Amino acid sequence: MGIFIKGTYLVHSSGKLEKKDVYLKEGKIESIANTLYAYENDRVIDGNNKLLVSGLANCHTHLSMTLLRGIADDIPLKQWLENEIWPVEEKLKPEDVYWGAMLGIAEMIKGGTTVFADMYFPEDEVARAVAETGIRACLAPGLIYQNAENGEKKLKENVNFIKKWEGWGNLITTAFGPHALYTCPPEYIREIVKEATKLDVLVHFHFLEALWERDYCLKNYGLNPLDFLKQAHLLDAHTLIAHGVHLTPEESRNLSPYKIYLAHNPTSNLKLSSGIAPIAGFLKNGLKVVLGTDGTASNNDLDMWEEGRLMSFIQKGISGDPTVLNAEESFKIMTNNGYNALKLKGGVVEEGYLADLILIDLNTPHLTPIYNGFSHLVYVVHPEDVTTTIVGGKILMHNRELLTIDEEKVLGKVRDIARRLKQ
C-alpha cells in the first residue's frame, strides 16, 4: 500500500509553486508528476491548498530535557550546567527520560521535524520512544570522562547501544557522544573515534560553545582548539560539532575539507549569552553548516521554524548584508544539509529520496498571498501550519492529530514527573 498525495503544491527552485501529484511507496518518494493515479488500497491525501516540503532536520538536541523546560533561566552556561541542570538530572529515572522523549517527539512531529540528532542518557529510553512513535533519529549516549575505569565502562556501553539500535526499523542510526573538550580529554576521544570508525557511525560533540573553552583547552591540554580536534582524531571521523560559536574564520576554513558538520543553535547561544556563531562567514569558507535547537532547557522549545528564521535574520544583522543566508539557502540548511550530515538520503522532495515529508496549510491569512515559497518557509511558517507529518512513508500526524502518540497521556505523565523534580 502506498500514499497518494493528490494536487499538492511543490516549491520549484525558482521559488514559484507547482501543482503536482506525489506517490510514496516503501518509505521513499516513488513518483512526482502532473497526473498520477492511486491503486486500490492506497491511502489518498488531498493536497489542495497545501504545500508539500521535506521535513526539518534538528541536528542537535537533548530531547528529554523537555522535562527541564523553564527550570533554570537567565544564567551563564557554566553556572547553569553545574549548579542547576546537572543536579536536577541526577534525580531523573530511566522512565522519566522515556516520557521526556515522548513529549519532545510529540512537539517535533507537530512542528514538522522528521529527524533529530540527540545526545542524552540513558539513550535506550530515547530509542524506545523513537521506536514506538516512528520518527527518525540519530542517537548518541552522552559520554563524560571521570576516570579510566569509568571511561572504559561508558565507552563499552556506547558500543553495545550502537550494536543494539543501529539501523532499527530503518529509522534509528547511532553515534558516539563525547560531551565536550572540558569533560573528555583528547586521548579518551581517540579511543571513541577508533570505535566509531570500526562501526561506521558519527561522533556528536560540543565544541567552542563558550569563550572560556579556548582558555580551558590551552591551560589543561596545552593545545589550541583546532589542535585538540587533531589530537583527538576527530578530523578523521564523520563528526557533528554542536555550536562552534567561537571558531575563528581561519579555523572554519581549515575544517572545511573534513567530514565536519557544524550544528548551529542560535536561540540557545543567545539565551545563554554564549555569543553568535558567524555562520555566513563559515559557509563562505566552505564549512558545512546544519541547524539545531539544543535542549529545551536552554531554548526553550523545539521550534525549527523559529530557529531557521532567527539564523537568517541574525546573520544579515551582524554582517550588514541583507543578501546573506537568503531564504532558499536557509531552508536547505534546515532540511537537506541536515540529512546529509546524518548520512541520510533525504531533505528534498525528489524521486528516490526518503519519504520524510510535511504538508503545510496555505489557506491562512499569514501565508496569503504567496509569491515565493522559500520566503514563506523561512520567514513566515509556524509549527501550527503543519497539518501532516510523514516519516519513512508512514503518517505520524494528519489534520493536526498525532497518530502514534497518546498526547494527553504523555502530558499527564510529564506533569507528574515535574512535580517530583520540584520537590
Residue pLDDT, tens place only, 239-271: 999 999 999 999 999 999 999 999 999 999 999
Contact 98, 125 (CB under 8 A): yes
The topology (CATH level 3) of 56-341 is: TIM Barrel (3.20.20)
- What pLDDT score does 29 carry? 98
Tens-digit pLDDT profile for residues 157-176:
999 999 999 999 999 999 99
**Summary mean pLDDT of the chain:** 97
- What pLDDT score does 121 carry? 93
The topology (CATH level 3) of 3-54+348-402 is: Urease, subunit C; domain 1 (2.30.40)
Q: Long-range CB contacts (< 8 A, 24+ apart) of 78-86?
A: 78/210, 78/212, 80/272, 80/298, 85/297
* Bridge pairing between strands 401-402 and 172-178: unpaired
Q: Which residues contact 83 (CB under 8 A, 6 or more apart)?
A: 75
Contact 286, 249 (CB under 8 A): no
- The whole-angstrom separation of Cα 4 and Cα 18 is 17
Binding residues for Zn(2+), as ranges, are 60, 62, 206, 294
Binding residues, as ranges, are 60, 62, 89, 179, 206, 209, 294
- What pLDDT score does 423 carry? 79
Tens-digit pLDDT profile for residues 3-26:
999 999 999 989 999 999 999 999
- Whether 3-54+348-402 and 56-341 share one fold: the answer is no
pTM: 0.97
- What pLDDT score does 41 carry? 92
Tens-digit pLDDT profile for residues 384-422:
999 999 999 999 999 999 999 999 999 999 999 999 998
Confidence band for 107, pLDDT divided at 50, 70 and 90: very high
- CA proximity to 137, closest of 116, 161, 122: 116
* DSSP states along 133-188: H--EEEEEEEE---SHHHHHHHHHHHHHHHHHHTTGGGTEEEEEEE--TTTS-HHH
Helix (H, G, I), strand (E, B) or coil at 318: helix
- What pLDDT score does 273 carry? 93
Please, what's the largest Cα pairwise distance for the chain? 68
- What pLDDT score does 177 carry? 98
**Predicted confidence (pLDDT) at residue 27 exceeds the cutoff of 90:** yes
**Predicted confidence (pLDDT) at residue 77 exceeds the cutoff of 90:** no
Torsion sign across C-alpha atoms 342, 344, 349, 354: negative
Tens-digit pLDDT profile for residues 201-232:
999 999 999 999 999 999 999 999 999 999 99
Tens-digit pLDDT profile for residues 111-167:
999 999 999 999 999 999 999 999 999 999 999 999 999 999 999 999 999 999 999
Binding residues for substrate, as ranges, are 89, 179, 209, 294
- The whole-angstrom separation of Cα 400 and Cα 298 is 27
Using only C-alpha atoms, what is the Rg of the chain?
A: 21
Domain boundaries, the chain: 3-54+348-402, 56-341
Alpha helices per DSSP H over 185-277 = 186-199, 212-221, 225-231, 249-255, 266-271
